[in-house]
Chains A and B, each alone.
Chain A
Amino acid sequence: MAASSAVISMSKIIQPIWGGRLATTAKVFGATVSSRREKSTVPPPAKYGGRHTVTLIPGDGIGPELLNHVKELFRFSCVPVDFEVVNVSSATEDDINNAITAIRRNGVALKGRRNSLSAYTVSPICVSLSHSTSLDLYANVMHCKSLPGVQTRHNNIDIMIIRENTEGEYSSLEHESVSGVVECLKIITRTNSLRIAEYAFKLAREKGRKRVTAVHKANIMKLGDGLFLQCCREVAAGYPDIAFDAMIVDNTTMQLVSKPQQFDVMVMPNLYGNVVSNVCAGLVGGPGLVPGANYGRDYAVFETATRNTGKSIADRNIANPTAMLLASCMMLDHLKLHDYATMIRNAVLTTMNETQLHTADIGGQGTTSEVVQAIMRNIQSKGPLTSEL
């Protein structure tokens, strides 16, 4: 452990001078250093004939409907992205492996949510997890921002939530050694905690944020969350321009429902991330408005932040497409197609200001297709060449 950290610190020193050439020397030193490669050595997204290919996983519920709208909008705006659709409708391993291979091939994916297997049966594999863990999408980033046109009880919320996506309570390691007694393991490791903390601080610096708050329950889970907290503190020491503090999860949730404006960037393990991100999504207006992104070192998968299937509103043209459309904008940013991303995002946000177009989840009576049409009209009026409406 000490030797590898010495190598890592050495690589940090010679990195600025040697730049990209370190990549080859990194391979000599072994796998540990390669896991800390700087962003400059990641190859740019592949473009074949000037067009990107993105894996599309429709999922269940409202996923297929919303992703169709995304495709429609992209075609309308002449975005140079082609979608490779992979259906994961049955629970077999083959389907899942196909999806993962497709994502590996393309590097980027946009997905809807699969229905998890019945909550009351024991599932040998948890399908939604295997995406995150085999692709090592270790950071789930959710940006909750109050939208001007949406009336909520709280205003001026602007919180970025960075959640560890691969370990913690979601390790799926459970066993029943004695009948009637179940043990679930929650795993916290030093490497992953350091990694996610590093990601959080780097992101905070890039976006010009002032404060990072770690959310934990170290008074009860001293070893586990204690380790997480310690890793955050270590990383914080390397970023003196960003303030760092820690808050226990119960106090955090209470503060979130009374004074959410105090939070800036939050980093936390998997389960608390789930709860806190859902609370924040509820505060800014519901699951239909917030996009989410899962980043790994090599891959990125975009989806709606709160990961709902929306079974009850599927195929009724009442789902809110905002979250999925904003997720596709994040994807475009990731592919470095910033112009298209800004254009679509502005159109979506402008449309959100129109109260008459609000869908049922934010208290209006608009339909999904109306919203998408309005967005397309907005783009057409603003901009560059588009297809016919």
Chain B
Amino acid sequence: MYWNLKMPSPPPARYGGRHTVTLIPGDGIGPELLSHVRELFRFCCVPVDFEVVNVDSTMTSEDDINDAITAIRRNGVALKGNIETNHNLPPSFISRNNLLRTSLDLYANVMHCQSLPGVRTRHRNIDIIIIRENTEGEYSSLEHESVSGVVECLKIITRTNSLRIADYAFRLARERGRRRVTAVHKANIMSLGDGLFLQCCKEVAAGYQDIAFDAMIVDNTTMQLVSKPQQFDVMVMPNLYGNVVSNVCAGLVGGPGLVPGANYGTDYAVFECGTRNTGKSIADGNIANPTAMLLASCLLLDHLRLHAYATMIRRAVIATVTETRLHTADLGGQGSTSDVVQSIMKEIQSTGPLTQNI
């Protein structure tokens, strides 16, 4: 199957000069944070309309999620909260988030972990881009119990997907002016599976002479991350290691409330909080940190080529996070979500173009 490496994607559709974006509130803190996003967009007069699709995590029928997928196919872009996966439902019930990613073939999950100036952490100057294969690997949901008491889970690694994600990683590194790509693997144990992944990365690396490439075993990687995270630049890896490494990095830069995540496919893009938490315990308490979701919406605006709005909102969010007294509970402060959002809106109003009244 020939797939064009540098496929020119059509510009995002604009009807009457406005974009339509699918919004999936999800569970936990999702609805609350996404309503703040909508409030902020309306305040800044961003030409984006949201089409809200609710996915009920308690229902076992797949209609809800299929509606959401159809809406995303229609609009091309989505912003979502995390949908909870109930452990007590039978194993045939596939995680809704996972189903969304595989049906839309959102093969690359990109998470940019950057130390923010106002947030005090144990490590400084972290700037790592993590590119994680999003559709296969350990998340294939293929398990069976042939003999009672013995479960086999299949981890699938394919050549096409590995080449695809490696190519995405190197292209992104080149676009952003990055120097080094590190592949994270466990090929000493899983020599066929991760060996194939590593081989594909090496093949792609040969075509990008300006970017250095090296490989590191996942256990050594995690140990280096907690002692010297500044050594990493861009990292590419299969699904499960990506999950672990991205969570370690999020913890290093200040927690799940600060890092946005993006899932890209050839035709669609879905934006969310990087660490995919539902945050059930802090839902509706006005204490959640809106930074991650707001930065995710800035990534969304960049994807829609509304760069001016994206930069404006991003600058305001970063300026607000620098103010220690506005820090929410997860950063050790006592601010509330609405305080933070109000402050961001004031910041935008003082620096900028026409906005509505607060």
Contact = CB atoms under 8 A, between A and B. Distances in A.
Interface residues of B, number: 64
A6 B191 CA distance: 41
B138 A220 contact: yes
Contacts of A217: 138, 240, 243
B153 A224 contact: yes
A170 B156 CA distance: 15
A253 B153 contact: no
A3 to B, nearest CB: 14
Contact of B275 (A126, A254, A271): A254
Contact of A170 (B85, B189, B243): B189
Interface stretch (B142-150, B167-175, B292-300): B142-150
Contacts of A224: 143, 151-153
A187 B147 CA distance: 11
A122 B189 CA distance: 10
A37 B302 CA distance: 64
B226 A120 contact: no
A122 B91 contact: no
Interface string A207-222: 0000000000111111
Interface in A187-207: 187-191
Interface in A282-321: 282-283, 286-287, 306, 308
A175 B195 CA distance: 12
A118 B85 CA distance: 39
Contacts of B282: none
Given A176-B192, A226-B91, A185 B154 contact: yes
Given A153-B122, A282-B226, A222 B87 contact: yes
A174 B193 contact: yes
B192 A182 contact: yes
Nearest to A175: B192
A250 B255 CA distance: 12
Contacts of A119: 185, 187-188, 191, 195, 198, 215, 217
A227 B149 CA distance: 8
Interface string B124-168: 000000000000001101011100111111111111100000000
A89 interface: no
Given A218-B87, A220-B138, A282 B225 contact: yes
A116 B252 CA distance: 31
A380 interface: no
B244 interface: yes
A277 B219 CA distance: 8
Contacts of B138: 186, 217, 220-221
B19 to A, nearest CB: 32
Contact of A253 (B95, B187, B219, B244): B244
Contacts of A282: 222-227
B162 to A, nearest CB: 9
B47 interface: no
B223 A180 contact: no
B220 interface: yes
Contacts of A249: 243-244
Nearest to B144: A223
A350 interface: no
Contacts of A221: 138, 143, 153
Nearest to B221: A278
Given A180-B159, A182-B158, A187-B151, A281 B190 contact: no
Interface of A: 1, 116-117, 119-123, 126, 129, 153-154, 169-170, 172, 174-176, 179-191, 217-224, 226-227, 249-251, 253-258, 271, 274-275, 277-279, 281-283, 286-287, 306, 308
Interface of B: 85, 87, 91, 93, 95, 98, 122-123, 138-139, 141, 143-145, 148-160, 185-193, 195-196, 198-199, 215, 217-220, 222-227, 240, 243-244, 246-248, 250-252, 255-256, 275, 277
8 contacts: A119-B188, A172-B189, A179-B159, A182-B156, A190-B149, A191-B149, A281-B223, A282-B226
